[in-house]
Amino acid sequence: MYNDLFTIGNITVHGYGLMIGIGIIAAYLMTEHLAKKKAMDPDPVFSLLIFGVLGGIAGAKILYWITIFDEIIRDPAILWHSLTDGFVVYGGIIGGILAGYAVCRIKKISFWDYLDCATPSIALAQGFGRIGCFLAGCCYGMETDSWCAITFTNSQFAPNHVPLVPTQIFSSVFDFAHFVLLYVITRRSKVPGFTSSLYLIIYGVGRFVIEFFRGDLIRGSVGALSTSQFISIFIVAFGVVLMVKKLRDSKRDQIAQENTRDEEEKVENVKENH
């Protein structure tokens, strides 16, 4: 595909950057929309977006540097030369969430409530981001003779004139479907943290599977698994533990509220009898 979409004067609009920008704007609007639907204050959403993006970029870059640590030891100049490319999505997710947590602590607002509003938007942004990957040719798949193969002819990342598994498109479709599911659940769920835990589980499983079809081996590996597959195992496990905890906490709070109501009713009955 072609990453350079069009040029106006000295400015060239790149497909990857454009899709990232669209994803960020869509994520902001969707998070604000969900916050309003859940009767939450939408004002902190902008701060969460700005610091979440900055934390995400930093986290994605740091995790990428970790995956090529041996190369950096041999040639530290890679740190400077790789500032504008080379990012790992999991690092972005972790960095963005940590930045959002810091903002929520500072503003004294519920971290889990706002994260539940943000996680569908994260999946939405990822869907647009993978379209950008497709246009640029990064995050490409392995060679294949399948009917659904894609062949790049002008990519700076993927091997050109070679039929490849269209992992970017598969990932994008998965992310958009993930967004729809999380959106519906967020609107209905009354358990803080449930949507966030479900995001981690579904994304982790999906990422683990799609990694089998990736062809960009530069991302590093841990034994027989890619770095992302290795991280996915812990992400899914954490998501399951988090979901169980949040459901138990919600059940405990519900029982406590019912007990409180029962006690209040008893007090009212005693007053009426007197």
Distances in Å between the Cα of 149 and the Cα atoms of 68, 142, 200 are: 29, 10, 29
b (16+ CB within 10 A) / e for 247-270: eeebeeeeeeeeeeeeeeeeeeee
Kindly report, residue by residue over 162-218, the tens digit of the pLDDT: 999 999 999 999 999 999 999 999 999 999 999 999 999 999 999 999 999 999 866
Instruction: Give the count of beta carbons closer than 10 Å to the beta carbon of residue 244.
Output: 11
pLDDT at residue number 265: 67
* In the predicted structure, residue 235 carries a pLDDT above the cut 90: yes
**pTM of the entire structure?**
0.87
- Residues 11-27: what's their mean pLDDT? 89
Are 15 and 2 spatial neighbours (Cβ–Cβ below 8 Å)? yes
Kindly report, residue by residue over 247-266, the tens digit of the pLDDT: 999 999 888 777 777 676 66
The Cα–Cα gap between 259 and 164 comes to 60
Which two structure tokens, joined as six digits, stand for 10? Answer: 């000295």
